[in-house]
Amino acid sequence: MNKEELTAHVLLAKNGNTDSFCKLYELYYKDMYRFAYYMLKDEEDAKDVISETVLDAFIGIKNLKKPENFKAWIFQILTTKCKRQMAVYVSNRENLSDAEQAMDIPVEEKAYADSIDLKNAFSILNDMERTVISLMVIAGYSSRETAKLLNSKEGTIRSIKSRALTKLSQELKEDFQ
Amino acid sequence: MNEQEYMNKLKQKAENAPIPESISPENMKKMLDEHMTTTKPSKEQKKPTSSKKWLAYTTVACAMLLVVSGAGLTMATKNMIKQSETSMDMAQEACVEETGAAAEDDASDSDLACATDLNTPESYEEYYDTIKSNLDAYYDSFAQVQDSNKRSDLQVKDFNTSKAENSVVFEDAAMESGTNSDFSTTNIQEENIDEGDIIKTDGKYIYKVSTKIEDGLLTNTLSIIKTVNGKLTLESTIHLDSCFTDNKEDYVYFKEFYLYQNQLVLVFMNDFDKPETTIVIYDVTNKSNPVKKKVIPQSGSYESSRIHEGILYTISNFSNADFSTKKPYENYIPSVAGKLIDCSNIHFPENVLAESTYVVSSIDLNTLEVTDSIAVPTAGGQIYVSDRSIYIYGNVYSEPGKTKLLRVAYREGKLSPGKSTIITGYVYDSFALSEYNGYLRILATISPSNINLLREDSDMIPKTNATNDIINDEAVDMSQLTENINVLYILDENMSLVSKISGIAPGEQIKSVRYIGDMGYLVTYENVDPLFAIDLSDPENPEIKGRLTVPGFSNYLHPYADGLLFGLGEEYDPQTQTFEGLKISMFDISNPTNIQVKDQYILDEAYYAPAQYNHKALMINPEKNIIGFLYQEQVGADNGIYVTNCYFVTYEYQEDYGFMESGMYLVDTEDYDSDQVRGIYIGDYLYISTSNSVTSYQLNGEDAIDILIE
């Protein structure tokens, strides 16, 4: 989709055209889902936040000033929703250890061993590290853009990223330095 | 495998996760269509009653409450404008010709009024008509998508207002001498210009904001804590999330606060209807019973604020103007304290698409009345404030690699927009700017792909050419430069270029800057790691006086005692470039041509200190000879699990011995919360504040005296 098409679809979506909105959504929804999935470590919750994000974004797209920012903008909504959901997890976490959570893998997911490994490896990251890695790896943001999204400093993000990558490589038993 | 390769590999792995059919674009379209037929979006939509409840709602039911959470959307767009080379090539053509200027002719303010290129409308209607026609022309240009070569031919109508060429003439405010009271204050950039933070003290009470999770939601509380020789007593608390709204569904974001005499000045961002900044003032004369005195809303999302001589200056970004109808005016005219900004204080953007409107207000903290408010268009969103000017600066999206600066002059609460200019390069933080004796000094970095812009800057030819100007050096082939270069610009109060040095540290990246009177110091890092001293005493002929090459770099510089400069940064092995830990340095700058390292100390276990990137996280007072900051160290175990420990550490500096560690305290905090940790001292006691506790120690002592868990 070139820039003119993108702009046109955003304009149409602003006027309530669901077709155009979903064309825009189609461009990014796989990354959006994976982002939510690794952030929340739960398929159902990931699906829920995606649906909420879509509705929010559709209602709010009239406020989107620059069509070319559609991706960043919808990821911002998604990030906010995931963070809110993670705060809920924290408050409910007392009686559920990480080990128990890790055991709780539905059988039908086993076929996707790589993504399960990765999901479990993500469990060793703290919330901030997971957010940073999800944004940078899955959504493809630079450390500067991530810093802006999370209202943090670039240097902070870079150090969080390095630390998280080191932890992940240890957990996934891969050589990385 | 380097980091990037490893991240690519992770990404591949991540892509193995199956995408559920239920979120496919087709299914989402069904959901949205259903939403369109069953719901008419309206402000009167009923809101869910409990904050917990929404989690239990099913996907379809979400539509009902998204009107509420949808309120968060406009905020999401804030600052999300990403720099994109293509983003504004259409918009560029919408630039208005410089045909006129505002009449800044209010007699009573004539001594403050600046020359400006900004124009004010005669009426709100005129403002509406002008901008609306611009926007319509822009959007019409997309009606024919196929005709991609068609360009909009936009022209803003001429303004026939006359240009007032009044220069700013007001004398420098006499600098007050620093406070002698024995307690720490927020580490600020400019003397006597207070900056907000999450903790303040008046020498007896600590006022701090704590964050915790209640019912699954983050909540902020301000605690007033009495201190008596390290003993802590909670006097009272203010619940910040509900201090100016009763509706639990409203999103309120606490930003920062000030302590001014016996008043707390709290700054919030909220999103009830549209993004808004709210200033709430409490009288805390009675510590056990804070009294809310005033709530002042201001349109737009919060950018920054300062207090200077009892007046609060607040800058917000009004980016969500709605030009769909001419009335009500509130839709596109920002307001302060519920009052629309006066027409004579509204200014037309030069380019409606590339700029957004910034609101600047001043509030007298003695009378709690709004003194002045203006709306000015510019690019950016970063703020630097001197004792007489507010600079709003940031990247120009229509011109990648450049930074736009707008000056707003202020004095005793009166505001007057001045000129703006665009410089080549980007500015890494507000410490790179400094206004002194009427001149603005800026250090900017230009990336290799933009170096050619320097030569194209025909309007940026300085009156005098400094000797180090790389573009005048015939020996340097600009097209051959493949690395960053750094440029010092000196501008006068009309934002005209007085001089520049463009040959500073080619290939290096600016890590920190500090201006001390007539001198500027900057640290760069890449291959060699110099500290430069630049003599700025003659604004027309700035000159690099000296440089010192040391391993590592400083992220933050702070003037210490006379002739000494403190640096906090990182140490690297000069041969292998391996990270060796955090480093504190004391430089002797008494002779700028011969800068020397007086002492340095390497914290080899430490890898990160929030104060490297946030000056407010540093506790420093040269008069008391104390430096304190939090650092993190990581202890690796055989099982691959890393444990991060946080320590708050204090130093003093002795001429003969150099740095001496005077205290080291293990801080119990989650490492992602470490940015919230502050250390303050009152008399001989140190108080370490985390997001949910305060612990007191005797300065130089090891054992905790008291702990208050919030």
Q: In this predicted model, what pLDDT tens digit does every residue of B382-405 receive, in sequence order?
A: 999 999 999 999 887 667 778 899
Of B31-40, B276-285, B691-700, give the range with the top mean pLDDT. Answer: B276-285
- At B671, the pLDDT band (50, 70, 90 cuts) reads low
Candidates A1, A26, A56, partner chain B, best to mutate (most B CBs within 10 A): A56
CB contact under 8 A, A11 and B139: yes
Q: Which residues contact B271 (CB under 8 A, 6 or more apart)?
A: B71, B72, B74, B75, B250, B251
Q: Which residues pair with B581 in a beta bridge?
A: B571
Q: Which of B431, B359, B367, B442 is nearest to B402 (CA)?
A: B442
Higher pLDDT, B314 or B700: B314
Which helix (DSSP H) or strand (DSSP E) does residue B221 occupy? strand B217-228
- Is a pLDDT exceeding 50 seen at residue A127? yes
What's the pLDDT at B398?
65
Tokens representing B163 are: 């240009």
Question: Among all residues of chain A, which has the CA nearest to that of B30?
Answer: A18
The CA distances from residue B407 to A61, B113, B166, B411, in Å, are: 33, 12, 15, 13
Q: Is B546 helix (H, G, I), strand (E, B) or coil?
A: strand
Name the A residues in 16-45 with CB < 8 Å from any B CB: 16, 18-19, 21-23, 25-26, 29-30, 33-34, 37-38, 43
In angstroms, the CA A77 to CA B72 distance is: 8
**Complex-level ipTM beyond the 0.90 threshold:** no
Question: Among all residues of chain B, which has the CA nearest to that of A127?
Answer: B672
- At B636, the pLDDT band (50, 70, 90 cuts) reads low
- Is a pLDDT exceeding 60 seen at residue B73? no
- Is a pLDDT exceeding 80 seen at residue B98? no
Amino acid code (one letter) for B60: V
pLDDT in tens, B462-515: 444 444 444 444 444 555 556 778 889 999 999 999 988 887 877 788 889 999
Tokens representing B290 are: 């804070």
Distance from CA of B418 to the nearest CA of A (A): 27
Q: What is the DSSP string of B137-185?
A: HHHHTTS-SS-TT------PPPP-PPPP-PPP--PPPPPPPPP-SSB--
pLDDT in tens, A14-63: 888 888 899 999 988 988 998 888 888 888 889 999 998 998 888 878 77
Asked if residue B530 lies in contact with residue B585, where contact means CB atoms within 8 angstroms, the answer is no
Higher pLDDT, B180 or B237: B237
Size of interface A-B (CB pairs under 8 A): 210
Nearest to B16 among A16, A80, A114 (CB): A114
**Does the bond joining B448 to the residue before it have cis omega, within 30 degrees of 0?**
no
CB contact under 8 A, A22 and B613: no
B1-5, B217-221, B280-284: least confident range: B1-5
In angstroms, the CA B549 to CA B531 distance is: 7
Q: What share of chain B is helix, strand, coil (3-state, %, to 5)?
A: 15, 40, 40
Higher pLDDT, B459 or B213: B213
Q: Is B191 helix (H, G, I), strand (E, B) or coil?
A: coil
| Chain centre distance of CA B51 | 31
A162-176, B152-166, B543-557, B662-676: least confident range: B152-166
Neighbours of B32 (CB within 10 A): 24
What's the pLDDT at B565?
95
Distance from CA of A104 to the nearest CA of B (A): 17
- Is a pLDDT exceeding 60 seen at residue B571? yes
What's the pLDDT at B465?
42
pLDDT in tens, B177-218: 333 378 999 999 999 999 999 999 999 999 999 887 666 667
Higher pLDDT, B304 or B452: B304
Asked if residue B646 lies in contact with residue B669, where contact means CB atoms within 8 angstroms, the answer is yes
Q: Which of A125, A138, A139 is nearest to A169 (CA)?
A: A125
Sequence length of chain B is 710
CB contact under 8 A, B55 and A88: yes
pLDDT in tens, A49-107: 999 899 888 887 877 777 877 887 888 788 878 877 776 776 565 434 444 444 444 44
Give mean pLDDT, residues B662-688. Answer: 87
CB contact under 8 A, B671 and A2: no
Q: Which residues pair with B485 in a beta bridge?
A: B446
**Contact list, A154 vs chain B (CB under 8 Å):** 613
- At B78, the pLDDT band (50, 70, 90 cuts) reads very low
Distance from CA of A142 to the nearest CA of B (A): 11
Asked if residue B112 lies in contact with residue B169, where contact means CB atoms within 8 angstroms, the answer is no
Q: What is the largest CA-CA distance in chain B?
A: 79
- Is a pLDDT exceeding 90 seen at residue B20? no
The radius of gyration computed from the CA coordinates of chain A, to the nearest angstrom, equals: 17
What's the pLDDT at B6?
80
Flag whether residue A139 sits within 8 Å of chain B, measured between CB atoms: no
Does the global pTM surpass 0.80?
no
Q: What is the DSSP string of B79-131?
A: T-----TTTTHHHHTTPPP---------GGGTTT----S----SSHHHHHHHH
In angstroms, the CA B545 to CA A6 distance is: 52
Distance from CA of A10 to the nearest CA of B (A): 11
- At B139, the pLDDT band (50, 70, 90 cuts) reads low
Nearest to B36 among A16, A112, A176 (CB): A16
Q: A60: number of CA atoms within 13 Å, CB side?
A: 29
Neighbours of B530 (CB within 10 A): 20
Nearest to B17 among A37, A166, A175 (CB): A37
**Contact list, A68 vs chain B (CB under 8 Å):** 82, 84, 86-87
Give mean pLDDT, residues B21-39. Answer: 82
- When the pLDDT of each residue in chain B is averaged and rounded to a whole number, the result is 78
- Is a pLDDT exceeding 50 seen at residue B594? yes
In angstroms, the CA B587 to CA B597 distance is: 5
A142-156, B4-18, B430-444: least confident range: A142-156
In angstroms, the CA B517 to CA B537 distance is: 8
What's the pLDDT at B672?
64
pLDDT in tens, B140-185: 654 433 333 333 333 333 333 333 333 333 333 333 333 337 899 9
pLDDT in tens, B284-319: 999 999 999 999 999 998 999 999 999 999 999 998
What's the pLDDT at B49?
36
What's the pLDDT at B656?
83
Tokens representing B644 are: 């991060």
Give mean pLDDT, residues B331-346. Answer: 93
Tokens representing B689 are: 């504040």
- Is a pLDDT exceeding 80 seen at residue B82? no
In angstroms, the CA B118 to CA B8 distance is: 48
Write b or e for each residue in B156-187: b if 16 or more Cβ atoms lie within 10 A of its Cβ, otherwise e: beebeeebbebebeeeeeeeeeeeeeebbbbb
Give mean pLDDT, residues A144-148. Answer: 76
